[in-house]
Amino acid sequence: MVAVCDILGFKTILKSKKLKEIVEDNYAYLRKALYSSIYQDFTLRPTPTLADFQAQNRVGFAWFSDTILLYSLEDNSDGYGNIVETSMWLLMQTILVEKARLRVGISYGDVYIDAQNQIYLGNAIAEADELQKRQEWGGGALTKKAEIKIPADIKAANFPAPWYLVQYEVPLKPLKELLQVELKYGNENPQAPDFSVIIREPMLAIDWTRFWHPYLDIHWSKTHREPDYDKEPKGHILKWKNTREFHKKVCLSCKKNSI
């Protein structure tokens, strides 16, 4: 099982900040979040090194630019569970942070991985990447090939920990429109036209709301509850709205606290 995790709005980040600032701020935070997610450890640490990531046997990983690849080290339910759990932890720690919001696609299939020579190939990686690109939110979902690998007893028990999943109508770009945007503008370009028509497909989504938190709403930024609807790219606003909607519909903790 593989997960492709992509930083939302990365081209905008590149254009708006100096490269050194991105490395020392955005990337440093994301590296700490990834370390915490892999090791299941909230302890504050210095920015982890490559050796720190390699000194574990829960998941395999690779990182290039704004894309993180996670892959199971065993082709069994334990390996799949590690991918789901790590992905949830990673979303949980980044979904509220402007500088590191992610979108995740998870799929399953044959892959060729030569970590020593940094070669990663396979349809499963391509399918996971396509799914993450289509999603119109900050969050994650599983392809049908990955969903089939979830054990039947886990589904019957409504996805207990560490299977942090939920059935949800995931907001997606239609494939035709996704291809049109990528061919002409490139993925995540704020100058691309607004394809506000989306489809909603019932899928298994990663339930990043299952961490303890006080009652909250998903604000646009630290300083603004809502975006500037006249100035901000419509595509970014749409993703924010869908992320907030997921939280409102799914988060049992906040529903309980709001009563």
Domain ranges of the chain: 2-257
Give every CB contact of residue 105 below 8 A, 6+ residues apart in sequence: 3, 4, 127, 128, 129, 130, 131, 132, 133, 135, 140, 141, 143
The helix/strand/coil state of 78 is helix
How many percent of the chain have pLDDT more than 90? 56
CB atoms within 10 A of CB 206: 25
Q: What is the pLDDT of residue 183?
A: 54
Residue 202 buriedness (CB in 10 A; 0-12 / 13-18 / 19+) = exposed
How many percent of the chain have pLDDT more than 70? 89
CB atoms within 10 A of CB 194: 10
CB atoms within 10 A of CB 141: 26
Give every CB contact of residue 154 below 8 A, 6+ residues apart in sequence: 77, 160, 163
pLDDT, one tens digit per residue, over 16-32 is 889 898 888 888 899 99
Q: Which long-range contacts (CB under 8 A, 24 or more apart) does 175-180 make?
A: 175/134, 178/133, 178/134
Taking a C-beta distance cutoff of 8 angstroms, is the pair 247, 240 a contact? no
| Exposed e or buried b per residue across 231-257, where buried means at least 16 C-beta atoms within 10 angstroms of its C-beta | eebebbbbbbbbbbebbeebbeebeee
Which region, left, alpha or beta, applies to residue 65 given φ > 0 means left and ψ of -120 to 50 means alpha? left
Comparison of pLDDT for 218 and 105, the residue scoring more: 105
Q: What is the pLDDT of residue 180?
A: 59
The pTM (predicted TM-score) of the whole model is 0.88
pLDDT classification of 170: cutoffs 50, 70, 90 = very high
Question: Mean pLDDT, the chain, as a whole number?
Answer: 87
Q: What is the pLDDT of residue 17?
A: 84
| DSSP-assigned letter for residue 98 | G
Tell me which residue of 145, 162, 141 sits closest to 110, measured CA to CA: 145
Taking a C-beta distance cutoff of 8 angstroms, is the pair 140, 170 a contact? no
CATH 3.30.70.1230 at 2-257, yes or no: yes
82's enclosing H/E stretch is helix 77-94
